Amino acid sequence: MEQFRNIGIIGRLGSAKVLETIRRLKRYLLGRHLNVILEESIAEMLPGHHLQTSSRKLLGEVCDLVIVVGGDGSMLGAARALLKSKVPVLGINRGNLGFLTDIAPSQLEEKIAEVLSGRYTTEQRFLLETEVRRNGVPIGQGDALNDVVLHPGKSTRMIEFELFIDGQFVYSLKADGLIISTPTGSTAYALSAGGPIMHPKLDVIGVVPMYPHTLSSRPIVVSADSEMKIIISSDLTIYPLVSFDGQNHITCTPGDTIHIQRKPHKLTLIHPLDHNYYAVCRDKLGWGSRLGQGED
């Protein structure tokens, strides 16, 4: 008997290739007599599908497995919506990089068959939760699988802020912003800002300044149990933004405080058995392949 009977599908909107892959996936799953449930927005793009539909948030409650068709951005959005349901998530890559969506469309049937037969590995990824407070009163919150980023928005001016970790003052800094990254996000925006690549199994958080005014400001890596507080300078004349995975934003005012910590819920990612993190890095980041031939 199949381990996964009710399978949800989420797809990136506005892509003909995504719709083509979803149609193929749907045919394959129905051919195995499985119950397929489409996320509402993608269902609207597939007239005559005759399948059950669900909101993204409720999809995790009615499914044993959710398959995301798209790029890493699609997976980030799905992860935040599905987190509390604890449903495992599998990605088919129809984007550019594919760090999180690791099944190639050309291998769709082969790899999905492996997963359905129980030949897969699981991986836990943590998220960050953030609360912005104004005069001590919460004015907004957000979750992030990749990163929480403080940045000037459309302004070209630097931001001045103070950073505290576990109640201890770390530094005051004038910079283009600050990236607080999970290991999952260490190969995303944080990497382009000079941050370290952190293996997904590490229980750590990266703190990466963006173009700091002082050359001595370097990325630091702290325990994932750390609680961070950023105080935006009250002398600031711009209204910076806090972004969550680059998809959701909160506008801050001078003097606001930003509180960041790890969420208690974790995302369960499913990978085919041949998934190799370092091979993904070699492929996506252009690392060199092995020298010589016939090595063990």
By CB atoms closer than 10 A (0-12, 13-18, 19+), residue 215 is exposed
| CA distance linking residue 208 with residue 24, whole number of Å | 41
| CA distance linking residue 26 with residue 241, whole number of Å | 40
Closest CA to 269 of 107, 2, 78, 73: 78
DSSP 65-132: EEEEEE-HHHHHHHHHHHGGGT--EEEEE-SSS-SS--B-GGGHHHHHHHHHTT-EEEEEEEEEEEEE
Instruction: Out of 72, 102, 147, 256, pick the active-site residue.
Output: 72
| CA distance linking residue 159 with residue 157, whole number of Å | 7
Contact of 21 with 108, CB cutoff 8 Å: yes
Q: Which two tokens stand for residue 87?
A: 């449903």
Taking each helix axis as running N to C, give the angle between helix 16-31 and helix 108-116, from 0 to 180 degrees, rounded to the nearest 10.
40
Q: Which two tokens stand for residue 77?
A: 């959005």
Q: Which two tokens stand for residue 266?
A: 């974790």
| CA distance linking residue 241 with residue 244, whole number of Å | 10
Beta strand 35-39 pairing with 6-11: parallel
**Would the CA dihedral through 6, 274, 80, 47 be positive or negative?**
negative
Reply yes or no on whether 143 is catalytic: no
Closest CA to 162 of 248, 26, 46, 254: 254
Residue with tokens 């929480």: 148
Kindly list the catalytic residues. 72
